Amino acid sequence: MMQFRLEKRREPSKAVLYAAPLIAVLLTMFFGAIIFSAIGYDGVGAVREIFLTPLTNSLKWQDLAVKASPLIIIGVGLSIAYRANVWNIGAEGQYIMGALAATWVALSTHGMTGFWILPAMMIAGVLGGAAFAAIPAFFKTRLNVNEILTSLMLTYASVQLIYYLVRAPWKDPMGMGFPQTRRFAADALLPNIIPQTIVHAGIPIAIIVALVAWFIMSRSVFGYQMKVVGAAPHAARYGGFSEKKTIWLALLVSGGLAGFAGMLEVAGPFQRMVPGFPTNYGFTAIIVAFLGRLNPLGVIFAGIIMAITFVGGEIAQTTIGLPSAASGIFQSMMLFFLLAGDILVRYRLRRVASQEEARA
Amino acid sequence: MTTELLIAIIVTVVGASTPILIAALGELVVEKSGVLNLGVEGMMLIGAITAFVVTFTTGNHYLAILCAAGAGIAASMIFGFLTLSLSANQTATGLALTIFGTGFSALAGQGYSARPVTLLGPLFPGEMATHPIWRVLFGYSALVYFSLIMVVVVWFFLKKTRAGLILRAVGENDHSAHSIGYSVIGVRFAAVAFGGAMAGIAGACFPLLLTPQWAERMTAGRGWIAVALVVFASWKPFRLLAGAYLFGLVMTMELYSKAGGGPLAAIPAELWAAMPYLATIVVLVLISIRRDASSNAPACLGRPFLPSN
């Protein structure tokens, strides 16, 4: 009998490291087609509509850009945190709090004009998200409370805060009873950068954020500290890097970026705060961060891939009647395949003779 | 407060606590074996939709509970295969399982929303619960008694049986357990499967015990509260029981504060809805102030195991 054994590689395989996300996408397409056929849908059609139509139909490119930008911004923040082994999974809540802080600025400056309103909203967004992430950071560093649970519980609470604000204190007096804020004034809205499209200023900003983050992570002491603390906490301690400081930085940066993405969404596509603002970008960005190999440049591509599945999911809904939940299944399958493939990054599959053969 | 009201409160609290308790008992066993499965919420949603569909098509509640347990096991095996066979990152895989469960249940539940099923009725005949006092003891469905029995079963298994000792050994020191001949991976697979079955049954509580319908994400983070509760209970089954009932109380306070009037009734509904999540944070913080919560955690929790030879 033939047996296989896993043998640890001395160095993680770079080739497999970068090939794995691509393989994961291909496997998802292959198995997705099989699974969706098995449950009675047009499986091949589903894969075509979800993965290919958004790319071949140029009308959909602006949708891709609009959907990808918050995913990239949040994903960049999460990839920095996960590099440091800080498991912030409450990005959705930080995204919401950033948007609420920006909404507060927009509402309290209503009736004023000035170029400063939008920057003020951006600052409020970043601060809102970072402040919300500071809560898990405080409890983690002071009392060693698990940041996964606190950041996630805060997300559920923040959703209720939206409901409260749009129902009572921030409700649009002219909104005919709808629980939503008034539409933001012109100076509180993100400008469109391509006329006649929905492409807003948040899209180039997302790319810039990723490039800056890549530069910082690969070239600065900050980036080095994040990586060392995440990969080898003991070595980091000897090297003089404070673990607590790293946890703080990781949560503030990832929370601030999530809040920034929330500001861009509320001042961009939404133009007002509505109960439907929580769009799951914060959770999907977790997959984006992993698919991008926790590397800001990789996150750009991963954000686009995930936006493709969102836009494609909507197309498949109208053309072949695939339920909207299908894109979530494809997205999580991608993450499963990626995590499974990672074993080949760290280990090498070796064929070994079984004991009987060895004895013979 | 009348006796009637008090009894009504107790019955509601018990109902709201049951799914959390069942899921948390499963996760406790999983964590005792040294595995951290953060996919509880996802497995619960898979259990909930399975139980709903089976009840809707067959009308058989007990078959629905069995199928929910089976679906929970199936989902947990995805996690088990990735983390135990392929030693993938447990945190990331658990999150992936929750995202998968959310999507899968939404897909499978397509077209089932707003369709009613009947709740699972009380286990004991009505005559036994005619008097209000007896309702507190005999007025529940089988799921409630199951959760209480499982508290004792899990405690007995972990503390008093040889198999429980092996499971704890695997969670405390996997390499030693391996070197004296126990199958670390095998034990962990069994624990993960048990956790999956319990999460599936916990999910079944939603359409069968709480609201007789299917709604997307109807577990609303209860799976995560169950995970937090295991920390709160410092991996002890009877403390889990107390914790789950405390949370059930927080969750149902809204209903009765409105009826009771007074200052509590002035609290906005949204704050009440946020209360269980905020309470979870408060409880985790209090536990950590009291002592270092991680000191009681299984030593190998979350660490992948690969035999060195």
Q: What is the residue whose two structure tokens read 């990331």?
A: B92
Chain B residue closest in CA terms to A342? B88
pLDDT, tens digit, for every residue of A190-232?
Answer: 988 888 888 888 899 999 999 999 999 988 888 888 888 888 7
φ, ψ for residue A351, nearest 5 deg: -90, 130
Q: Which CATH code for domain A3-359?
A: 1.10.3470
Kind plus residue range of the DSSP H or E element containing A6: strand A2-8
Q: What's the distance, CA A193 to chain centroid?
A: 23
Helices (H), chain A: 14-38, 43-47, 53-56, 61-83, 91-108, 117-143, 147-167, 202-219, 221-231, 233-238, 243-265, 281-291, 296-319, 325-346, 355-359
Q: In this structure, which long-range contacts are made by residues A8-13, counting pairs with CB atoms below 8 Å and at least 24 apart in sequence?
A: A8/A346, A8/A347, A8/A348, A8/B306, A9/A345, A9/A346, A9/A347, A9/A348, A12/A345, A12/A346, A13/A344, A13/A345, A13/A348
Question: Do residues B240 and B246 touch, judged by C-beta distance below 8 A?
Answer: no
Q: Report the complex ipTM.
A: 0.88
Chain B residue closest in CA terms to A6? B306
Provide the angle, in degrees to the nearest 10, between the axes of the packed helices A325-346 and A14-38: 140
The reply to whether residue A323 touches residue B270, judged by beta carbons under 8 angstroms, is: no
Chain A residues within 8 A (CB-CB) of chain B? 6, 8, 87, 89, 135, 139, 143-146, 148-150, 152-154, 156-157, 160-161, 163-164, 167-168, 283, 286-287, 290, 323-329, 331-333, 335-336, 339-340, 342-343
Q: How far is A191 from chain B (nearest CA, A)?
A: 34
Residue A196, classed as helix, strand or coil, is coil
CA distance A235 to A215: 24
A6, A339, A344: best to mutate for the B interface, most B CBs within 10 A = A339
Kind plus residue range of the DSSP H or E element containing B205: helix B184-205
Cross-strand pairs, A6: A349
With CA atoms as reference, report the closest residue to B193 among B33, B19, B17, B20: B33
Q: Does B250 touch chain A (CB under 8 A)?
A: no
- Kindly tell me if the per-residue pLDDT of A273 is higher than 70: yes
Q: How far is B159 from chain A (nearest CA, A)?
A: 27
Domain ranges, ordered by start, for chain A: 3-359
Q: What is the pTM of this model?
A: 0.90
The reply to whether residue A152 touches residue B110, judged by beta carbons under 8 angstroms, is: no
In tens digits, chain B (309 residues) has pLDDT values of: 577 778 888 888 999 999 999 999 999 999 999 999 999 999 999 999 999 999 999 989 999 999 999 999 999 999 999 999 888 889 889 989 998 999 999 988 888 887 888 888 777 776 666 676 777 777 788 899 999 999 999 999 999 999 999 999 999 888 888 888 888 999 999 999 999 999 999 999 999 998 888 988 899 889 999 998 998 888 999 999 999 999 898 888 877 776 666 677 778 888 988 988 998 899 888 888 876 555 677 888 877 777 654
DSSP string, B131-148: SHHHHHHH-S-HHHHHHH
Angle (CA) A338-A342-A242 rounded to 5° is 105
Nearest by CB: A339 against B89, B107, B220? B89
Torsion, Cα A59 A62 A68 A73, to 10 degrees, reads 170
